[in-house]
Amino acid sequence: MEYQSKELIKIRKTGDKIEFKILLFIKNNTRSSIKNIQLIEFVPNYIKVVSFETLKPIQTEKGKNLTRMIWNIGELVKGEERIISYKGEIETKFIGRLSLPQATLKYKNIRNKVCHIKSNRVVIPV
């Protein structure tokens, strides 16, 4: 079973903006290597992605409400873990809490079946 989670760290308010960092954890808990892994992250358009800390996405597509970022990860061997992180910012005109959508992980298992795994949602306190 592949494992994926999403975590929010380092929230900082500066002036009229909130800066934060998102970590995406991917771990191969299977008994064999997994190849052709694709990580898809959706970010609402009111959030500005400022920088990528570990690995830049191979593709970024801006839609009407969401921006989709795609990373291709060649292979994860048994027990291997990767952390992909990026920094974002949002204006403080929002009140309450904002929820980021789940990230999706796609890969082919040993039987060549396409598998999808979703991460948890992350809430940004505003």
Contact in structure between 75 and 87 (CB atoms under 8 Å): no
Give the H/E segment covering residue 40.
strand 34-44
Residue with tokens 């403080």: 92
75-114 pLDDT, tens digit per residue, is 899 999 999 999 999 887 767 778 899 999 998 877 888 8
40-74 pLDDT, tens digit per residue, is 999 999 899 999 988 999 999 999 999 999 999 98
19-32 pLDDT, tens digit per residue, is 999 999 999 988 88
Separation CA 110–CA 121 (nearest Å): 28
